[in-house]
Chains A and B, each alone.
Chain A
Amino acid sequence: SQQGEEDPQALSIQEGENATMNCSYKTSINNLQWYRQNSGRGLVHLILIRSNEREKHSGRLRVTLDTSKKSSSLLITASRAADTASYFCATPLLTQGGSEKLVFGKGMKLTVNP
């Protein structure tokens, strides 16, 4: 079942602009992660934010989490052509036995034009 959904599904911006992506999810979570995927490659972990955190920074990335609205946003500031990729939010689903599996959204394609 789809847990997280990114919005918008695609975004095209100019280099230097900021890009904001949103993720909404359905059930209560204890953490949320963002990943990036360059075309046809594996995913790269960007940031993990826990449910007791409201905001987290990593370089040009800023992630917020609003558990009351069941939503998260990823902001990339001063975008570069190299940021062109698909971005996914991932939320944990607790399974029988106490382990978690990650459920990914369908992703958002960001194009940064030079």
Chain B
Amino acid sequence: KAGVTQTPRYLIKTRGQQVTLSCSPISGHRSVSWYQQTPGQGLQFLFEYFSETQRNKGNFPGRFSGRQFSNSRSEMNVSTLELGDSALYLCASSQTTRGRGGYEQYFGPGTRLTVT
């Protein structure tokens, strides 16, 4: 199976602009989670989508939004970019996140966003 793919891999934007990142999960995976990784804060959970519905959301402002399509592909959007949004954005897919048996997440290579 092909792994999780993210596009673009690198992006440079200026403050105030908006950006859309894309994630294609592993075939058959219905859950897509997004994370922001910065040197100071580490890996922070943004949100999770499952079958086109946002199921969980982290503590990020409303400028961060996402959606999932019927083919499980997901996009995240950041509006009115700030310097502090510079980060590596990672998406991860899994078959499910329900149940308490634990589930493995498969990560994409990430999108490196630089805001100037």
Q: Report A's interface with B, CB cutoff 8 A.
A: 30-31, 33, 35, 40-45, 48, 50, 88, 92, 94-95, 97-107
Contact = CB atoms under 8 A, between A and B. Distances in A.
B101 A101 contact: no
Interface of B: 4, 33, 35, 42-43, 45, 48, 50, 55-56, 58, 88, 90, 92, 97-110, 112
B107 A101 contact: no
Contact of A33 (B45, B58, B104, B112): B104
Most chain A CB neighbours (cut-off 10 Å) among B88, B90, B100 = B100
A interface SS class? strand
Contacts of B110: 40-42
Contact of B100 (A40, A44, A94): A94
Contact of B90 (A43, A94, A100): A43
A100 B99 CA distance: 8
B105 A107 contact: no
A30 B101 CA distance: 7
Given A40-B112, A43-B90, A43-B92, A102 B101 contact: no
B92 A100 contact: no
